[in-house]
Amino acid sequence: MSHKNRWWSRREIEGLIADGRKIIILGGQVLKVDTWLPYHPGGDKSILHMIGRDATDEVSAFHSKEAQDYMQKYVIGVVDEPWENFLPPIQGGTFRTLASKDDDDETLSSDEDVNSSGKSTPPSPVFEAEEKAGSARQRRTGTGTDTPVSRASSLFSSEHEQEHSKFTEASVAHAISSDISNYPRLDKKSQADVVSKYRQLDERLHTEGLFDCPYSCYAVEFGRYLVLFALFRTFLHYEYYILSSLCLGLLWHLLAFTVHDAGHLSITHGFHTDSCIGMFVAAFLGGLSVGWWKRNHNVHHIVTNSPEHDPDIQHMPFFAISSRFFDSLRSTYYDRVMKFDIVSRVLIKYQHYLYYPLLMMGRFNLYRLAWSYLLDPAQAPRKGPAWWHRYVEMAGQVVFWYWFGYRTLYLSIPTWSSRVAFLFVSHMVTGGLHVQLTLSHFAMSSAHLGVHESFAQKMIRTTMDVDCPPWLDFVHGGLNFQVVHHLFPRLPRHNLRRAQKHVKEFCDDVGIPYVIFTFTHGNKEVISRLGEVADQVKLWEECRKVAAKDLVEGRHCH
């Protein structure tokens, strides 16, 4: 019997993962992808979040038929369907080796633990992690001198952490309860129905030709680029520096959408062709890195709005969209703790006021992230089809800073005050892009409903669309159809509006709320969410001050 036909039990799969094997389930087949990790153009983190899970819908959404056929070389057998997901190790799942003497899987109900990983139970991100963090913080508060003040401080710290933990737990529990009541049940039958109808929708979009790119639309886009570039050069020549910087900023704003399209391979659907388009526009024309973007963005699409895992909502110490961030969570993407320290508390108290000013500076942060990616060989693929992309992007950085930094800023503009004004105005104009990137997620759910939630339901639950007239679609660059885009990331941008009506019908059919706001309403929702979290910080600080005063004055009650 071929090794590709070998049947694997769930217990055996658990044992393989416990031994460090990278196992994913794809259409009932078992794939061991250990050797593919350093080759994957989208980085290793997106694969690690699929370990022990049925990744059929995620793989289908992100990969071409050719790429899926290529994956057959990693097949080591089959499993019974439907597959019951494990919680991936990167998300805290724990696994038993085959040598373990624990009871078999069959002794547990599959519904006993929403994060079930066989007999082992992963640490709860709501309870255990906070208790451990609290214990560590309490140990660090010791001064070596057992004075009344130190005892009071220690007691206050302990009780503050307990109250802090309780508040967070209550907030998270309320969010989960709200989502569970508003979305389809998480039982196998309900989620299987969502999955089945989502796949039928995918087939319908393919049948209607919506995955075929309308290249004539890019001809119109190219015309806009040429007009803005001509205006940028003309105003620069006649020394209208502010007008020139505005046109350059708008050009970068529109070009970012083409980078987004190319990064998802939604232009030609060819890996090398779209990759070259993305690298040319991002690095040579914009000074950014599409390689970094792929590594970051693929993870965002898989674990959307997860505080511990989604880099697109991990903006500490500047922003926190959930009280979960108050627990100094560890980012699995950045491999570091996002500290909720004094700086975070100060900034987050005013985050709803800082939202627009900080996002206007967002492009400078993209430069930093691009260079951190390009200078770290461990982040970029070192083998496989994308091994050379890092070097092309490095060359692009040199070209960009030559034409923009040297020839434009330094040679074409005579005074330092004008140079600084040109630099900041051109970059502040692109702040609208960062508003759009955060708009569709900051106001949406960040609750984790467990490993049994389907890909389609999670994408819709954590994403919203922005309603606008068709003639304004080019300004939003397709980001106003985030629900559609998250369900079908390889769908060409100019077909998203046509696909939206089908997605709405799908949502009505399966009972998933489809959230869509106007641009103004969406901004109000985001500011409101940021304001709510800011108020929570202020409330905790007031309670802490009152509690500290009561303890010092001896009014503490047990």
Nearest to 516 by CA among 476, 471, 481: 481
In this structure, what DSSP letter does residue 406 have?
Answer: I
pLDDT at residue 337, as a whole number? 95
Spatial CB neighbours of 269, under 8 Å, sequence gap ≥ 6: 64, 211, 213, 490
* DSSP-derived secondary structure for 530-550: HHHHHHHHHHHHHHHHHHHHH
Spatial CB neighbours of 180, under 8 Å, sequence gap ≥ 6: 186, 449
* DSSP-derived secondary structure for 494-540: GGHHHHHHHHHHHHHHHT----EEEHHHHHHHHHHHHHHHHHHHHHH
Do 117 and 452 touch, CB atoms closer than 8 A? no
- The alpha carbon of residue 529 and the mean position of all alpha carbons in its chain are separated, in whole angstroms, by 18
Q: Tell me the whole-structure pTM to 2 decimals.
A: 0.86
pLDDT at residue 4, as a whole number? 82
Q: Give dist(CA 247, CA 426) in Å, integer.
A: 8
In this structure, what DSSP letter does residue 408 have?
Answer: I
Q: Give dist(CA 488, CA 301) in Å, integer.
A: 10
| Bridge partner residues of 518 (DSSP) | 467
pLDDT along the chain (558 residues), means of 10: 83 95 95 92 93 96 91 93 93 90 47 41 37 34 39 46 56 62 89 96 97 96 97 97 98 96 95 96 97 94 95 95 91 94 94 96 95 90 89 97 97 96 97 91 91 95 94 93 96 97 96 94 95 89 72 58
pLDDT at residue 133, as a whole number? 35
Spatial CB neighbours of 189, under 8 Å, sequence gap ≥ 6: none
Q: Give dist(CA 353, CA 351) in Å, integer.
A: 5
For 2, 276, 440, 485, 486, the CA distances from 302, given in Å and listed in that order, are: 32, 24, 15, 13, 9
- The alpha carbon of residue 521 and the mean position of all alpha carbons in its chain are separated, in whole angstroms, by 23
All structural domains of the chain: 3-86 (3.10.120.10), 188-516 (no CATH)
pLDDT at residue 166, as a whole number? 57
* AA identity, residue 124: S
Nearest to 44 by CA among 380, 484, 422: 380
Do 522 and 343 touch, CB atoms closer than 8 A? no
pLDDT at residue 533, as a whole number? 93
In this structure, what DSSP letter does residue 103 have?
Answer: P
Exposure of 286 in the CB half-sphere (CA atoms within 13 A): 28
What SS3 class is residue 554? coil
Taking the CB of residue 339, how many other CB atoms lie within 10 A of it?
13
